A and B are shown apart, each in its own frame.
Chain A
Amino acid sequence: MNIIEAIGGRELFTQGDVACAYGALLGGCTFFAGYPITPATEVAEAMSRLLPKIRGVTVQMEDEIASISAVIGASWAGRRAMTATSGPGFSLMMEGIGYACMTETPCVIVNVQRSGPSTGQPTEPAQGDMMQARWGSHGDNELIVLAPNSVQECVDLTRLAFELADRFRNPVFVMTDGEVGHMREKIVLPAAEEIDIRPRPAPSTPPGEFVPFKAVKGKVPEMASFGTGYHTYVTGLTHKESGLPTTDNAEEHTGLIRRICEKITDATDELTRVEMDQDDGATVGIVSYGISSRSAAGAVRLLRAEGMKVSHLRLVTVYPFPERVIRDFAAPLSRVLVPELNLGQICHTVREALDGAAAVEKVSKIGGEIITPDEIVEAVLSSGEPVKV
């Protein structure tokens, strides 16, 4: 059965969570392991319904630590693999995510963010895990983090996440939230004949000559899946290019960790996806991501209807953080507002990137309701210098 037959059509009115499952299939995912948690459970439900139809496997594990571990194992066995969770489960997965970074294991993690800390408000949306996405696992590492704001983007960005995970041999996060996850909108999927899923390519050198953690092109090594005739040693300990542990050599450790970080940061421009809506002459701007970007777009519409000038930059890729794009965007601005469903997270990263070039103000909201356009309008009008009309 092809993927579109398994899904049951190309044009559907469905939820963000289910759309993440569709995007996963389009990205070549054939293995899902997870543990149910509101508001991410519908991802697991959809995967358990869909994967058996395309000779894939969905496993409900005993917890989230087991889930991420199973995903890492499946990836080494040659499968494109995903898990989905929310805040409490994301916290549990952090050890495995660090292991995936260190072992350069491609995998996709969907976090349908809910209100925290701890078990918080299970059914309410939040954007409180954004710093954790970047800094949650110990040691130096880099993550690729995408933030969809619509149901269609849940399809498109989850599909993209698999491509990036393979290309960079790294975990990729799809950071959605309870609002986008449970929201329903129309989606359009590609025609079956436009879907071209190929297995992960084998290394360009034969077994015997292959060095598993030596980067041959750029800073990303080729990957030899288990069972394909290659010998690969996989460990979370600092390792040589052969894969064997080396735990007391500063040069080898520095070389490895710099390489696994730089393979992502060197590609920042290539990985950056933003939506830029600049207004000539504006001195105030909004930097947004995820569901709050839709509130921001509403605020921009209302402000411009009143004849005011305001610019808007939406981050689709949140990490690696697009510092250069943000600096360019803010160059003509004196104030930048950052609306978020938390008490202030990405606003800090924006402030660091701008380094005083513009005043950065947070527009925070927690408790379960998303930010309204009016609340952003009020924040734009209430402080700082008057908005240019």
Chain B
Amino acid sequence: MRREIRICGFGGQGIILAGVILGEAATKAGFQAVQTQSYGPESRGGAARSEVVISDGPIDYPRVTKADVVVALSQPAYDRFAGDIVSGGAVIVDESGVTAEGAEVQPFTATAQEVGHKIVTNIVMVGYLGARLDLIDPAILEETVLRNVPPGTEELNRKALKAGQELFAAQVS
């Protein structure tokens, strides 16, 4: 089993953190995982990309070659990074700000705003992806989110994670 996930968006959207949380949670759940990243020299803006490879065995090449899932939270990131998908793989874009023919559309930003602030859009997406991948125990995922977010934001992030999980549950029901 080898799953390759690519998350991309603007620098500052929490793209890297989302990948870190998925990778760390996967290792806590007993898998091997590598998280890699690339971004430009600017700390805000630009196209940021975070990749996670999850496997039940050793991982040699650490990057995504053919993604099982790509999530794009910005148009430039979609345009640049949405290629190289396995057949049957999914490209998921945020409803706000990304136009992409043939891609699945999810209201990550709108859901984050509903739970309190668009700053937790990345955690909504982590909740959605976690549920969709169905590899990581939700309790492990929640614990990992809470360990990686700034003190004082735990409740908002917990709600965001749950909202993301519900987004997927509503989709499959």
The size bracket of the interface on A is 20 to 34
Of the candidates B24, B36, B41, the one whose C-beta lies within 8 Å of that of A123 is B41
Q: Does A182 contact B (CB under 8 A)?
A: yes
A291 CA to B36 CA in the complex, in Å?
12
Interface residues of A in 112-130 (CB under 8 A from B): 122-124
Number of interface residues of B (CB under 8 A): 19
Interface residues of B in 32-76 (CB under 8 A from A): 32-41, 60-63, 65
Contact A301 B34 (CB under 8 A): no
Dominant secondary structure at the A interface: mixed
A368 CA to B24 CA in the complex, in Å?
25
Name the residue of chain A whose CB is nearest to the CB of B39.
A123
Contact A368 B38 (CB under 8 A): yes
A368 CA to B36 CA in the complex, in Å?
13
Contact A301 B60 (CB under 8 A): yes
A91 CA to B85 CA in the complex, in Å?
41
User: Would A298 and B61 be within 8 Å (CB), given that A182-B36, A183-B34, A185-B34 are in contact?
Assistant: yes
Q: Does A179 contact B (CB under 8 A)?
A: yes
Dominant secondary structure at the B interface: mixed
Contacts of A185 in B (CB 8 A): 27, 33-35
Q: Does A334 contact B (CB under 8 A)?
A: no
Name the residue of chain B whose CB is nearest to the CB of A124.
B38
Q: Does A294 contact B (CB under 8 A)?
A: yes
Contacts of A184 in B (CB 8 A): 20, 23-24, 34-36
Contacts of A301 in B (CB 8 A): 60
Q: Does A13 contact B (CB under 8 A)?
A: yes
Report the minimal beta-carbon distance from B2 to chain A, rounded to whole angstroms. Answer: 11
Of the candidates B27, B41, B62, the one whose C-beta lies within 8 Å of that of A179 is B62
Contacts of B27 in A (CB 8 A): 13, 185-186
Q: Does A295 contact B (CB under 8 A)?
A: yes
Interface residues of A in 176-231 (CB under 8 A from B): 179, 182-186
Contact B32 A186 (CB under 8 A): yes
Report the minimal beta-carbon distance from A301 to chain B, rounded to whole angstroms. Answer: 6
Name the residue of chain B whose CB is nearest to the CB of A121.
B41
* B interface residues with partner A (beta carbon < 8 Å): 20, 23-24, 27, 32-41, 60-63, 65
* A interface residues with partner B (beta carbon < 8 Å): 13, 38, 122-124, 179, 182-186, 291, 294-295, 297-298, 301, 368, 370, 372-374
Given contacts A123-B39, A291-B62, 7 further A-B contacts (CB under 8 A): A38-B41, A122-B41, A186-B32, A294-B62, A298-B60, A370-B63, A373-B65
